[in-house]
Structures are given as C-alpha cells and as structure tokens.
Amino acid sequence: MNGLTFDIAHLLAGGLVLVSFMMLYQDRLFALINVFALHAVVLALSVAWQAYIQDAHHLYVTAAIALVFKAIVIPVGLHRIIQRLGIHRDIETAVGIGPTMLGGIGLVALSMVLMLRVTPEADPLAREDLAFALSIILLGLLVMVTRRNAVSQVVGFMSLENGLVLAATGAKGMPLVVEISVAFSILIAFIVIGVFLFRIRERFDSVDVGALDDYRGEHR
Amino acid sequence: MISSAAVLLWGVAALLGTAVLAVSESRRSGSGTRLIYGLTLGISAAVLLVLASRIANDPVTPSTAALPLGLPWIGAHFRLDALSTFFLAVVNFGGAMASLYGLGYGRHESAPHRVLPFFPAFLAAMNLVVMADDAFTFLLSWEFMSLASWALVMAHHREQDNARAGYIYLVMASFGTLALLLAFGLLSGPGGNYTFEAMRAASPTPLATAFVLALMLLGAGSKAGLVPLHVWLPLAHPAAPSHVSALMSGVMTKVAVYGFIRVIFDLLGEPAWWSGVVVLFLGGLTAVLGILYALMEKDLKRLLAYSTIENVGVIFVSLGLALAFRANAMPSAAALALTAALFHVLNHSFFKSLLFFGAGAVLTATGERDMEKLGGLIHRMPLTSFAFLVGCVAISALPPFNGFVSEWLAFQAILQSPDLPEWGLKVMVPAVGGLLALSAALAAACFVKAFGITFLGRPRSAAVEPAHEVDRYSLTAMFSLAALCLLAGIVPGLVIDGLSSVTLPLIGSRMPVQMAQPWLSIVPIATSRSSYNGLLVFLFIAFSAAAAAYAIHRFASHAIRRGPAWGCGFADVTPSSQYTAVSFAQPIRRVFGTFAFRARETVEMPPPGQTGPARLDVEMHDVIWETLYLPIGKALDFATDHLNHLQFLTIRRYLTLVFLFLVVLLLVLALWP
C-alpha cells in the first residue's frame, strides 16, 4: 500500500474522531444535529475511500446508505421533531464541557493504547481504523452519558453506530447484507425512539429524561 | 449387529415414553399406577438382561453410540465400558426393585400425578448420566436427574418442611452442577473438546489437576452427600415417597460416586499423592459425622438418610485409598481399595433400598415416621420386620451379610498403608481406619436403635394400633433384596471377580481370582495375611443357633411357672417407661455430643419442698449448618439488601454504569501484562 492512500484513510478516520469531539461541546440541539450530519458525511467519505482502496464495490452502497440516511434523512427528521416539540433552547449538559473534553481525550488515548497493543500483527490500516472506531464508540457513549435530553441521547447513539460502521468497513470481507441489516436496524431504532420521544413529550411536556425518573418516583 | 449401547438407549427412550404416558395415565388412580410401575419394572428388567449378557460375554470392550442431539458440533456420545456397565446394573436393579415396591406402595399415593411422570424420567436420567461420553451430555443428564428428583421431592409440597427441603436441594444441586461445569471446562482445556475421549488423551497441568479434584469433590460430593455439603440430603431424601427415597439414597448417590470415579480415575490421569489424603480425610469425616447425626435422629427416614451419608463416607475412604495407592504405583493394593469401594456401592444400594422400603411399609401401616410414636410392630408386621432386621444386620457390617465383606476389604486395604512411602499417608491412613472402625461400631448402635425402637417393645402411641402387614409386591421387593444381601455376603468372590473387569482398565491391576479358592473363601492378598469365608460363618451361625435352640427346648425344664412379670423396678409400667430413641442414644450423645453438636443438658430441679417433676432439657446445634451455611445466607442477604438500590437508578445512571464498566474492562485489558 502506498503512503498516500494510507494517509487519506488515516485523515478521514481521524476527522471522524475530531467531529465526535465537536459533538461533545455543542450545547444547542440544532448545532448538535448539524455536527452529527457532518459526522455522517465524513463517515460516508471514509467508507467510500475504503471501497476505493479495497476495490470492494459493495462498500460504495454502504457509503451511499450512510450519506442518504444519516447525513440527510435522520438529521432532517430530527430537525422536524425538535421544531414540532418546540425545544430550541439550550441543552443542559449534565457534566461541564471542560471535564467532558478531558474525559474524551482520555478515552481516545485508552482506545489507542489498547488497540495498538492487542493487534500487533494486523494490517496497519485495519489497526488504525479499529483504534479510531473504538474511540468514536466510546465518545458516542460519552455523549449519551453526559446529556439529559432524549434527542441528544439519540444523536449520541447514532454517532456510536457510525463508529461500528467504520470498524466494519476497515475489516476486509464484511458482507454487504450485514451492513444493510445494521443500517436498517439503526433506522428502525431511530423510528422507534422518535415515536417514544413524542409519547414522552405528550405525557410529560418535556423530553428531559429526568421527567421519566420523576414519574418513577426516583431522585436524580 | 446393533451395539449394546444403542439397545440401552432404546431402553432410555422407552422410559421417557413411559414418563410421557404417565402424564395422562396418572389421572386414573389404581390402574394407571400399576401400568406405569409395571412398565418401568419391565424396562429395567430388560435393560438388566442386556447388561447381564454383556457382563457374561465381554464386559471390557467398550460399546459406543452417538445421537445427533445436543451441541451441533459435538452431538451426543454414549459409551458403555466396564465401569458404566457396573453402575448401570446398580441403577437399573435399584429401579426394578423400586418399581416392584411401587406396584404396591404406589396405591397409597395421595397425589399420583405428581409422582408417576417423574419416576420413569428420573430413572432415564440416571441411565443417561452413566452412559454419557461427552461433557455436554453428562451435564445435561446430570441436571435432568437433579430436576426430576427435585420434582419427586416436591411431590407432597404442601407438607410442612418439604418446600424448604426442595429449595435447599435445588440450590445445592445447582451449585454442584456449576462445580462440575467448571471441572469439565478445565478438563477440556483451551481446545474446548468436550468428548471424554479427548479429555482422556489430554494431560492437564498439576495445578489444573488439583482444581479438577477440588471441583469434583464439590460437584459430585454435594450430590453424594459428602460432609460439609450434605445438608440437603437428610431433608430431601425423606421428603420423597419411600420408593423414591430408596432410589435417591440407594442409587442417585451412587451415580454421583460414578461421576467422581469417571473423572478422577478415568479422565484426569494421575493426580498427586496428597489428593488421596484429601479424599481420605473428607471420607472419614463424612462417615463419622453422618452416623453421629443418624444416632441423634428420631425420624426413621431421616435416620436412614443420615446413614446414607455415612456409607458415602465409607465409599470415599476406599476411593481415597485407591488414589493414594495408585499414585505410589501399588496397583494391586489400589485394585483392592477400588474393589472395596465398588463392592460397597453395590451393597449399599441393596440394603439402603431394603431399609427405605421397610420404612415406607411402616409409614403406610401407621402413618408415622417418628420412632418415638412407634414400637411393637414386630407383632403386627412380622414379615416386614424380619426383612428390615436383615437390612439392619447387613448395614451394621455383621457377617455373614454383604456389608461386612466390603468394609472388611476396605480394612484390608488400610492394612497395606505401612508400605506407602509418604509420611502424610502413613499417618493419615491408620487414623482414617480408626474413624472407619468408629463409624462401623456407631452404625451398629444406630441400627440397633432403629430396629429396636421401631419394631420391639410396646406401642408408644395409638398410631401403631391399626398397623397390619403390607401387600405382597412390597414384601417381594424387600425379601428379594434381603436374599441378595445374604447371597452377596456368602459368595463375595463372584462379585469381586466380576468387579475385576472394572478395576483392570482404571488401575491396570485386579484382585486375585477369588472363585478359584476352595469353599468360597476370599483371599484379598495372600492366604498368609488374611482370608474370609462367608459360607463358613453362615453355616456356623445357622448351626450353632439351631443347636442352641434345640438344646434349650430339649434340655430345659418343661415345668411352666406363672408369676408377675418383673417390672424392672418401676412401679408403674407404661409404654413411656421403655427405652426411647433419644434415651437410647444418650450415652453416645454424652461422649460425642459436646464437640459434634455443642450439646448441652440442663436439669431443672423443683425447689425444695415442691413435689413437681424435674425437667431434663437437651439443647443441640447443627454445627455445620450454623458455622458454614448461616453466615453465607446472612452475607447474601446483606449483599442483596444493599444491591437493591441498583434496581432504582435513573436511566442516565444506568448508562453511566454501563459506560464506566466498559471503560474499566478496557483499562484492565490495556494494563494486563
């Protein structure tokens, strides 16, 4: 493999991690969704690049799915949901932005150390890819943990799934049917969660998951 | 030609079919009961015939069969070698006898639909455990056996204490299966090959060997009733209907012993010499504590269950000896010890089934298990009491019955211990021999009590009044077993020679051929050391007893004198002034009770001048239950109380917990050297 293809793959995967970091400090919902759309675009580019260098045409389909659904359909859907719910106000982050960013840096360091240690004999491209994918998954989890708003938790979940797709495309020989089924399951999860958002909203006049806890008689 | 393993699998399938049939048949009481027990009797007898032809022709060559069930990449393997043939014979003979007894006893069953479907299933499961040739099939059958027997224990679940017995049994059985699962996991090694053939070929590290031994002692030991894992046994065995109690005590504990022998002697290879010390110690402890508990008991079926624990201890002592001798390359002594263990397995299945049948007969006739309310039954149930007496004599290891032979063989093996090189064993084996002798003597006392209080004396309560002799099916079962107890005691050489094909593949040696000895003598090592002739002892006892009886009747005075019976110094002779079960055991409680049960006697004297009676109170503790199980229960309660908060966290906290746990796991992975 020549240096340039590797560098571009590296750049795109690294870009994905960077966008994940951007997601950590967005405290407005619209901005968060826009960053998520950017995340999906970078993912689509990265997958398409993998398709090119691996000469695997079915990965173009994956890239197209990522681009259409995650960069366009889901963000537009989320925009509409937010408008219909009427929540344009600030996100209340549960943890301050500074500690969250520091935690994110720690997580990326952890996944690098771990992946480079456990896969010494793997293909260097796949190694880097896996390390970045693990960072993205952990950052997605961190987004879910540090937010209270259900919409932003959905966004965190979606970005976590992007990490999974990145890991899957880095591993050569992943069949298309698996990717399509993963993409569909994500879409269905999105629909189900969307329905739930409205149900929660109907009942509690809020999509703050804290309201659910209050309903259960618990304390935060 | 269809292999005998496949034939036996058909037998198991027939038993399972009977179990399914029983679900619908059990609604019709009477004819349904007869049909089901008749079927199980027929199937067990047929299986015994197959096994007999195998033993007669060629017991050594393994016969295998495989079914495409179970895990897809393994299937279910079954294998019939000499060891499993022997244990299958024990299982199916016990099953046939229990079915025969059930033909009569089952008519008194109040809830046949809770017993009939599970009885054939239980038999089928025990057959499968013994035949299994891969870990998956073994564990599945083992768990099936546990669950089927649990259902039988819970047959009368509305009775007081039975629900608790079932619960404790279920917990201990799950624990035992977990230990077995881990043991097989270690045996299969990193390759994960679950067939016994691969395990036999593998050679685990000494550390893994030690762990497998410990796990087998936990897993098979908890099913067999090894102290301190015995707590469920005296609760669960008596709770089942009596013929099932007989199966559980007489046969299921043997299946556990089979599991232990199969893994330790066959699959594991060569454990170190100290493993013998561990098994010896646990066996000796089990024997003595089991019989001490039995002595303190006044419930007849619970007494028998505790005596099962003692006998399991005796078997494990012999197994420990066999391990010690095998580790020191003394194959003939090891063969002797293993033969003693297997012989005792056979004997115990005979006389413990017989005794439980007798206890069941007493229960049917009087509705009582409490010995303090029985007494004088020998007049109302002469045949049952005779059969029970034979069982008592046999289990007390008195010649010429079979119990004596196997314990005598165990002592012959103990007498070989001076040849052992390790000092640990040199010291340990005679000490355990002492424990074994003590337990044999205590067992005799225990069964004098069991027979004397139940059948002799005068009735202690009105429950005895309506008692009458039981039906002929039950009597046939009891007398067949009694006859076998005598037969195995008189012709032990036949059994020992039969067992040689079992010890030969496991130890690589066998005891000398016994049937070649003149006059049915048995000579375990050499004539110069020791020999025993059951026939001679039997003839001597029969002759001297007959001669004494004749002499008394012939030469004693025929003059009839009538006078008042001697009142033993009591002015008022009532049934309550007889020996009771508790008072009979009092001297032994005085000697052993203080340390074994923390027993404390307090006498309350009336104040001077008062004429009220004095009171004697005895306070006893189950030390093992209180020091081992209660703290575990308390710790569990404490932990669950405190973990309960985790049920009521917020969604975000749950997410955070998952996330933190993932990060911690990744950190561990990253920092692992």
Count Cβ neighbours within 10 Å for each residue of B621-657 and write b for 16 or more, e otherwise.
Answer: ebebeeeebeeeeeeeeeeeeeeeeeeeebbbeebbe
The pLDDT of residue B392 is above 80: yes
DSSP state at residue B61: S
Which of B29-33, B293-297, B548-552 shows the lowest per-residue confidence on average (mean pLDDT)? Answer: B29-33
CB within 8 Å of B485: residues ≥ 6 apart: B347, B350, B351, B354, B390, B391, B394, B401, B402, B403
Q: Do A204 and A211 contact (CB within 8 A), yes or no?
A: yes
Q: Which residue of A has its CA nearest to B668?
A: A114
Per-residue pLDDT tens over the stretch B44-77: 999 999 999 888 888 788 888 888 887 777 788 9
Sorted by where each begins, the domain ranges of chain B are 270-512+521-549, 581-603+614-621, 629-671
| Cα–Cα distance, A133 to A123 (Å, whole number) | 15
Burial call A119-156: b when 16+ CB within 10 Å, e when fewer: eeebeebbbbbbbbbbbbbbbbbbbbbbbbbbbbbbbb
- Cα B160 to Cα B601: distance, rounded to the nearest angstrom: 28
**Position B516 confidence tier, pLDDT thresholds 50, 70, 90:** confident
Do A90 and A26 touch, CB atoms closer than 8 A?
no
Say yes or no: A105 contacts chain B, CB-CB below 8 A: no
**Encoding tokens for residue B293?**
């508990």
B429: CB partners within 8 A, 6+ apart: B280, B321, B324, B414, B417, B420
Helical (H) or strand (E) element with B142 = helix B135-153
Q: How far apart are CA B28 and CA B90, in angstroms?
A: 31
Q: Do A114 and B669 touch (CB under 8 A)?
A: yes
* Helix (H) or strand (E) segment spanning residue B616: strand B615-619
Contact B670 A110 (CB under 8 A): yes
Question: Residue B266 has what DSSP assignment?
Answer: I
The Cα B638–Cα B241 span in angstroms is: 37
Query: Is B667 an interface residue toward A (CB < 8 Å)?
Result: yes
For residue A218, list chain B residues with Cβ-Cβ distance below 8 A: 648-650
Identify the residue whose tokens are 């004596």. Answer: B404
Residue A167: predicted pLDDT? 81
Strand partners, B370: B299
DSSP H helices in B491-580 = 492-507, 534-555
> What is the spatial distance between Cα A150 and Cα B126, in angstroms, rounded to a whole number?
55
> Which tens digit of pLDDT belongs to each residue from B321-358?
999 999 988 899 999 999 999 999 999 999 999 999 99
State the DSSP string of A47-85.
HHHHHHHHT-THHHHHHHHIIIIIIIIHHHHHHHHHHHH
Q: What's the pLDDT at A220?
A: 44
pLDDT at A187: 65
CA B156-B221-B96 angle, 5° bins:
55
Task: Answer whether residue B176 shows pLDDT above 80.
Answer: yes
**Which residues 6+ apart lie within 8 Å of B513 measured at CB?**
B497, B500
| A220 compared with B649, residue with greater pLDDT | B649
Q: Do A138 and B663 touch (CB under 8 A)?
A: yes
ipTM above 0.85, yes or no: no
* Single-letter amino acid, residue A15: G
Q: How far apart are CA B7 and CA B154, in angstroms?
A: 32
Regions in chain A scoring below 70 on pLDDT: 1-2, 88-94, 171-184, 187-188, 191, 194-220
And the tokens for B49? 């015939």
Which pLDDT band, with edges at 50, 70 and 90, does B524 fall under? Answer: confident
Contact status of B649 with chain A (Cβ, < 8 Å):
yes
10 Å Cβ neighbour count for B296? 23
CB within 8 Å: B659 and A117: no
| Distance (Å, whole) CA A51 – CA B322 | 67
Residue among B70, B201, B199, B209 nearest B136 (CA):
B70
A152, A204, A213: which to substitute to probe chain B, counting the most B Cβ within 10 Å?
A: A213
Closest CA to B435 of B311, B572, B281: B281
* B10 has pLDDT over 80: yes
| Rounded Cα gap, residues B430 and B425, in angstroms | 9
* CA gyration radius, chain B: 26
**Inter-chain CB pairs, A–B, below 8 Å:** 41
User: Cα(B194)–Cα(B22) distance, rounded to whole angstroms?
Assistant: 34
User: Which among A185-189, B192-196, B313-317, B666-670 has the top mean pLDDT?
Assistant: B313-317
Please judge whether B651 and A213 are an interchain contact, meaning their C-beta atoms are less than 8 angstroms apart. yes
Distance CA B361, CA B481 (A): 15
- Other C-beta atoms closer than 10 Å to the C-beta of B424 total 13
Confidence of residue B614 (pLDDT cuts 50, 70, 90): confident
CA angle B530, B534, B535 (to 5 degrees): 130
Burial string for B486-523 (b: 16+ CB within 10 Å, else e) reads bbbbbbbbebbbbbbbbbbebbebbbbebeeeeebbbb
Backbone angles phi, psi at B61, to 5 degrees: -60, 125
Could you report the per-residue pLDDT of B530-574, keeping only the tens digit for each?
888 889 999 999 999 999 999 998 888 777 778 777 766 666 667
Instruction: Using CB atoms within 10 Å of the CB of residue B160, give its burial: 0 to 12 exposed, 13 to 18 middle, 19+ buried.
Output: exposed
Displacement of CA A161 from its chain's centroid (Å): 5
Query: Does residue B490 carry a pLDDT above 70?
Result: yes
DSSP single-letter state for residue B134? B
Residue B574 is predicted with a pLDDT of: 74
Residue range B590-608, pLDDT digits in tens:
888 888 888 888 888 888 8
Residues 6+ apart with CB under 8 A from B358: B384, B385, B387, B388, B391, B478
Which residues of chain B have a CB within 8 Å of the CB of A117? 670
Selected residue of B647, B658, B659 to mutate for chain A interface (largest A Cβ count, 10 A): B659
Report the residue of A145, A193, A215 to disrupt the B interface, i.e. the one with the largest count of B CBs within 10 Å. Answer: A145
Cβ-in-10-Å burial (0-12, 13-18, 19+) of B155 comes to buried
pLDDT given at position B489: 93
Residue B412 has pLDDT above 90, yes or no: yes
Quote the tokens at residue B249: 């005590």
* Cross-chain Cβ contact A213/B666 below 8 Å: no
Q: Which residues on adjacent β-strands are paired with residue B299?
A: B370
Q: Tell me the shortest Cα–Cα distance from A218 to chain B, in angstroms.
A: 7
Which two tokens mark B503? 């010890």
Tell me the β-bridge partners of B604.
B615
Cα B77 to its chain centre, rounded Å, is: 27
B438 phi and psi angles, rounded to 5 deg: -60, -45
DSSP letters, B203-254, are ---HHHHHHHHHHHHHHHHHHHT-TTS-TTHHHHHHHS-HHHHHHIIIIIHH
The answer to whether the CB of B39 falls within 8 A of the CB of B25 is: no
